[in-house]
């Protein structure tokens, strides 16, 4: 088992960033809600306490028992540092003003945590409480012009507690990565050997043990996660992995054939199932977005279930679930509301009774790509934009018909091809075209036209949770507009979506 760092989450917006930063140093870490029991096995090398929107002076603030960490090194960040200060007898008080944004760290004393860090550097602050007195025996190792205690620690007689008032995990903390690396290597003595290669070897042998002589079925979508997961499972059990790639008739132009071809080239045992007619029939007459999503999800399960029944002796279901889908978040604002019912495979029927194989369950998206590269998966699959499970159905506003799908596929193909040709594809996080239920008057040659409008959508984002519209060059947009209007029959107007998320979303439905 790989050595690991436990990150206890108190609900900070930056907790996942801490995890991603540690993984960059090839150290395995797990994010766990602060109130969950942790198993203190030998492989745990250190603990990190995250920030939090709570104040340690609030009545029911989140707490932990420091004695439970034994002799392990503990790094508290922001709220974590304040909790540490308070637990050992220091004082935390409300500051006169909330300190948010860039500040300037000045080193006060030699410290292993701050080893090799510049004497003065910018750091990122986000707090409204401040530590006014550190516990006895601790010393201050860093300060800023606003606060005397920006970094403090005790590192002797078996005690290894470190507190940082700023956020080393945030990009704007110039020396943040170095500080986290010091914690990992100089304090926790991590070997930093959790490389993609290490992960692949461990995972493949784990799958072999789990599956034995069994058979696995898995739905593939052409996306990064399901492909990387399938290649890992295939490496472990070969053709006993049965991939199913369903064409719901809502994929991009020629995508079904292209992706199926790539799968075959990778040696995967995948069956392509063309179920377009079944999906179109079910969608006929429906225009309400949530209903369309539910119909697609339900039909998908029907198709998949039928394929599974035709195979004998399947016991396992492979899935490309990744870490952000499974991290239990600490709820700060109560249960979240459903904005859209995401994710097409919204649960398989219980009668299928399959055991899950989810090899990517503990990986962040960028790590999935690193593993995919190590596995030799072609870059056109690894670097693809995300694409929604319900496909073009949620980019055709209103009722979906085969004719509309055809128009949208043609327009979308032009936009994506032009992005690729001009080298812009990799600079946007996701792009696509939306077919609007709006007809307008135009003139082509000498003739009046009355045809559809399409919207181009391109966004920049890190994880799809928030997004900004991509500032594409006007000449480029003009060229794409001309190409679409000239080449796609049925479209006479192109507009560009300049909304960010929030308040808009990336998809239109
Ligand atoms: P929104 O529209 O909510 O989308 O801003 C965020 C990201 O999720 C994708 N998306 C989906 N992916 N099934 C999926 O697998 C879905 O039902 C679904 N709906 C939206 C969307 O393309 C974007 O990347």
Per-residue pLDDT tens over the stretch 191-200: 999 999 999 9
Using the predicted structure, report yes or no on whether residue 28 has a pLDDT greater than 70: yes
300 and 444 part of one domain: no
Share of the chain above pLDDT 90, in %: 86
Share of the chain above pLDDT 70, in %: 95
Cα–Cα distance for residue pair 448/440, rounded to 1 Å: 10
Cα–Cα distance for residue pair 6/47, rounded to 1 Å: 5
Instruction: Tell me which residue has its CA closest to atom 12 in ligand 1.
Output: 388
Cα–Cα distance for residue pair 340/337, rounded to 1 Å: 9
Instruction: Using pLDDT thresholds of 50, 70 and 90, give the confidence band for residue 345.
Output: very low
**Greater pLDDT, 346 or 403:** 403
Which pLDDT value is given to residue 41? Answer: 83
Question: How far away, in angstroms, is 420 Cα from ligand 1 center?
Answer: 22
Tell me the CATH number at 439.
3.30.300.10
Using one digit for the tens of pLDDT, what is the confidence trace for 387-431? 999 999 999 999 999 999 999 999 999 999 999 999 999 999 999
**Greater pLDDT, 463 or 300:** 300
86 and 33 part of one domain: yes
Instruction: Tell me which residue has its CA closest to atom 11 in ligand 1.
Output: 388
Tokens of 500: 């960010």
Instruction: Tell me which residue has its CA closest to atom 9 in ligand 1.
Output: 388
Q: What is the number of other CB atoms lying within 10 angstroms of the CB of residue 171?
A: 11
Radius of gyration over alpha carbons of the chain, in Å? 26
Ligand 1 within 6 A of CB of 241: no
Range of the domain at 237: 196-382
117 and 248 part of one domain: no
Which pLDDT value is given to residue 340? Answer: 55
Of 329, 350, 382, which residue sits at a domain end?
382
Of 123, 153, 187, which residue sits at a domain end?
187
Cα–Cα distance for residue pair 8/84, rounded to 1 Å: 13
Using the predicted structure, report yes or no on whether residue 109 has a pLDDT greater than 70: yes
Surface-to-core class of residue 97, CB atoms within 10 Å of its CB (0-12 exposed, 13-18 middle, 19+ buried):
exposed
Identify which of 506, 508, 509 to mutate to test ligand 1's pocket (most ligand atoms within 8 A of the CB).
Answer: 506
Tokens of 170: 């945030």
Which pLDDT value is given to residue 341? Answer: 57
The H or E element that residue 411 is part of is: helix 402-421
Which pLDDT value is given to residue 255? Answer: 96
| Residue from 248, 195, 255 nearest 385 by CA | 255
Is 505 within a domain? no
Is 29 within a domain? yes
CA quadruple 286, 290, 291, 294: dihedral positive or negative? Answer: positive
Ligand 1 within 6 A of CB of 343: yes
Using the predicted structure, report yes or no on whether residue 172 has a pLDDT greater than 60: yes
What is the residue-averaged pLDDT of the chain?
93
Residue pair 242/230 in contact by the 8 Å Cβ criterion: no
Question: How far away, in angstroms, is 277 Cα from ligand 1 center?
Answer: 24
Which pLDDT value is given to residue 158? Answer: 85
282 and 135 part of one domain: no
Distances in Å between the alpha carbon of 237 and those of 268, 369, 374, 473?
A: 11, 22, 19, 48
Using one digit for the tens of pLDDT, what is the confidence trace for 249-287? 999 999 999 999 999 999 999 999 999 999 999 999 999
User: The tokens 């995300």 sit on which residue?
Assistant: 386
Task: Provide the pairing of β-strand 161-164 with 215-220.
Answer: unpaired
Is 128 within a domain? yes
Using one digit for the tens of pLDDT, what is the confidence trace for 280-308? 999 999 999 999 999 999 999 999 999 99
Which pLDDT value is given to residue 344? Answer: 39
181 and 244 part of one domain: no
Given 3, 29, 99, 167, which residue is catalytic?
167
Is 31 within a domain? yes
Q: What is the number of other CB atoms lying within 10 angstroms of the CB of residue 194?
A: 21
Using the predicted structure, report yes or no on whether residue 336 has a pLDDT greater than 80: no
Is 391 within a domain? no
* Residue 297 CA, closest ligand 1 atom number: 17
Using the predicted structure, report yes or no on whether residue 247 has a pLDDT greater than 90: yes
Residues 227-248 have a mean pLDDT of 98
Cα angle: 92, vertex 57, 167; to 5 degrees: 60
Instruction: Tell me which residue has its CA closest to atom 6 in ligand 1.
Output: 464
Ligand 1 within 6 A of CB of 344: yes
Predicted structure pTM score: 0.86
Ligand 1 within 6 A of CB of 385: no
167 and 226 part of one domain: no
Is 395 within a domain? no
Exposure pattern of 428-452 as b/e (b: 16+ CB <10 Å)? bbbbbbbbbeeeeeeeeeeeebebb
* Residue 461 CA, closest ligand 1 atom number: 24
174 and 212 part of one domain: no
Using one digit for the tens of pLDDT, what is the confidence trace for 477-487? 999 999 999 99
Question: How far away, in angstroms, is 359 Cα from ligand 1 center?
Answer: 22
Is 501 within a domain? no
Domains contained in the chain, number: 3
Residues 72-76 have a mean pLDDT of 97
Residue pair 224/369 in contact by the 8 Å Cβ criterion: yes
| Residue from 155, 151, 174 nearest 163 by CA | 151
Could you confirm whether 447 is annotated as catalytic? no
Residue pair 134/90 in contact by the 8 Å Cβ criterion: yes
Is 492 within a domain? yes
Ligand 1 within 6 A of CB of 494: no
322 and 234 part of one domain: yes
Tell me the CATH number at 18.
3.40.50.880
Could you confirm whether 509 is annotated as catalytic? no
Residues 205-212 have a mean pLDDT of 97
| Residue from 378, 386, 376, 391 nearest 344 by CA | 391
Using one digit for the tens of pLDDT, what is the confidence trace for 41-65? 889 999 999 999 999 999 999 999 9
Does the N-terminal peptide bond of residue 213 adopt cis geometry, omega within 30 degrees of 0? Answer: no
Of 382, 415, 447, which residue sits at a domain end?
382
Residue pair 219/268 in contact by the 8 Å Cβ criterion: no
* Residue 467 CA, closest ligand 1 atom number: 5
Distances in Å between the alpha carbon of 359 and those of 36, 184, 339, 340, 378?
A: 23, 25, 28, 27, 19
Given 3, 99, 153, 169, which residue is catalytic?
169
* Residue 342 CA, closest ligand 1 atom number: 17
Using the predicted structure, report yes or no on whether residue 334 has a pLDDT greater than 70: no
Ligand 1 within 6 A of CB of 432: no
374 and 405 part of one domain: no
Surface-to-core class of residue 285, CB atoms within 10 Å of its CB (0-12 exposed, 13-18 middle, 19+ buried):
exposed
DSSP state of 396: B
Which pLDDT value is given to residue 339? Answer: 55
Task: Provide the pairing of β-strand 139-143 with 151-154.
Answer: antiparallel
Residues 137-163 have a mean pLDDT of 95
Contacts of 309 (CB under 8 A, 6+ apart): none
Using the predicted structure, report yes or no on whether residue 29 has a pLDDT greater than 80: yes
Phi, psi of 130 (to 5 degrees): -145, 150
Cα–Cα distance for residue pair 228/430, rounded to 1 Å: 20
Could you confirm whether 78 is annotated as catalytic? yes
Residue pair 34/41 in contact by the 8 Å Cβ criterion: no
11 and 151 part of one domain: yes
DSSP 131-194: EEEPPTT-EEEEE-SS-S-SEEEE-STT--EEEESS-TTSTTSTTHHHHHHHIIIIIS------
Which pLDDT value is given to residue 42? Answer: 85
User: The tokens 């984002």 sit on which residue?
Assistant: 461
Which pLDDT value is given to residue 380? Answer: 87
Residue pair 181/163 in contact by the 8 Å Cβ criterion: no
Cα–Cα distance for residue pair 356/359, rounded to 1 Å: 10
* Residue 507 CA, closest ligand 1 atom number: 2
245 and 98 part of one domain: no
290 and 212 part of one domain: yes
Tell me the CATH number at 289.
3.40.50.620
* Residue 432 CA, closest ligand 1 atom number: 22
Using the predicted structure, report yes or no on whether residue 164 has a pLDDT greater than 90: yes
| Residue from 343, 399, 423, 488 nearest 456 by CA | 488
Identify which of 464, 465, 505 to mutate to test ligand 1's pocket (most ligand atoms within 8 A of the CB).
Answer: 464
Using the predicted structure, report yes or no on whether residue 332 has a pLDDT greater than 70: no
């Amino acid at each position: 088992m790989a050595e690991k760092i436990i990150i206890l989450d108190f609900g900070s917006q930056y907790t996942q960033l801490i995890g991603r930063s540690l993984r960059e140093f090839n150290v395995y870490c797990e994010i766990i809600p602060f109130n969950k029991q942790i198993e203190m096995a030998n492989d745990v090398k250190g603990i990190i306490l995250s920030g939090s929107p709570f104040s340690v002076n609030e009545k029911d603030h989140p707490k932990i028992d420091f004695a439970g960490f034994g002799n392990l090194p503990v790094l508290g960040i922001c709220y974590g540092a304040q909790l540490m200060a308070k637990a050992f007898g220091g004082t935390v008080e409300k500051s006169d003003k909330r300190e948010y944004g860039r500040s300037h760290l000045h080193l006060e004393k030699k410290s292993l945590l701050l080893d090799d860090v510049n004497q003065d550097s910018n750091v990122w602050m986000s707090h409204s409480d401040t530590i006014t007195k550190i516990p006895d025996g601790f010393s201050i190792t860093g300060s800023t012009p606003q606060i005397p205690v920006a970094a403090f620690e005790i590192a002797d007689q078996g005690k290894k507690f470190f507190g940082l008032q700023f956020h080393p995990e945030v990009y704007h903390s110039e020396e943040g990565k170095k500080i986290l690396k010091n914690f990992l290597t100089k304090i926790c003595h991590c070997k930093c050997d959790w490389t993609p290669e290490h992960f692949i070897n461990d995972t493949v042998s784990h799958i072999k043990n789990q599956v034995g002589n069994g058979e696995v079925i898995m739905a593939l979508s052409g996306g990064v996660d399901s492909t990387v997961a399938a290649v890992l499972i295939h490496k472990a059990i070969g053709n006993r992995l049965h991939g199913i790639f369903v064409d719901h008739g809502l994929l991009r132009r020629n995508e079904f054939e292209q992706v199926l071809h790539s799968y075959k080239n990778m040696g995967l045992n995948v069956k392509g199932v063309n179920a377009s007619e079944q999906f179109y029939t079910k969608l006929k007459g429906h225009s309400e977005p949530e209903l369309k999503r539910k119909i697609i999800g339900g039909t998908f399960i029907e198709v998949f279930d039928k394929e599974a029944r035709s195979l004998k002796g399947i016991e396992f279901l492979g899935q490309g679930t990744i870490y952000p889908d499974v991290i239990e978040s600490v709820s700060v604002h109560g249960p979240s509301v459903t904005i859209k019912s995401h994710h097409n495979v919204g649960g398989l029927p219980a009668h299928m009774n399959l055991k899950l194989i989810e090899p990517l369950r503990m990986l962040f998206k960028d790590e999935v790509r690193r593993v995919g590269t190590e596995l030799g998966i072609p870059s056109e699959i690894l670097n693809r934009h995300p694409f929604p499970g319900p496909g073009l159905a949620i980019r055709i506003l209103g009722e979906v018909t085969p004719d509309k799908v055809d128009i949208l596929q043609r327009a979308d193909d032009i936009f994506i091809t032009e992005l690729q040709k001009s080298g812009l594809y990799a600079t946007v996080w996701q792009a696509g075209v939306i077919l609007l239920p709006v007809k307008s008057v135009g003139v082509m040659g000498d003739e009046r036209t009355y045809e559809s409008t399409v919207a181009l959508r391109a966004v920049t984002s890190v994880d799809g949770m928030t997004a900004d519209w991509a500032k594409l060059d006007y000449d480029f947009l003009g060229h794409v507009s001309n190409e679409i209007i000239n080449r796609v029959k049925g479209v006479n107007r192109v507009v560009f979506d300049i909304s960010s998320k929030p308040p808009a979303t990336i998809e239109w439905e």
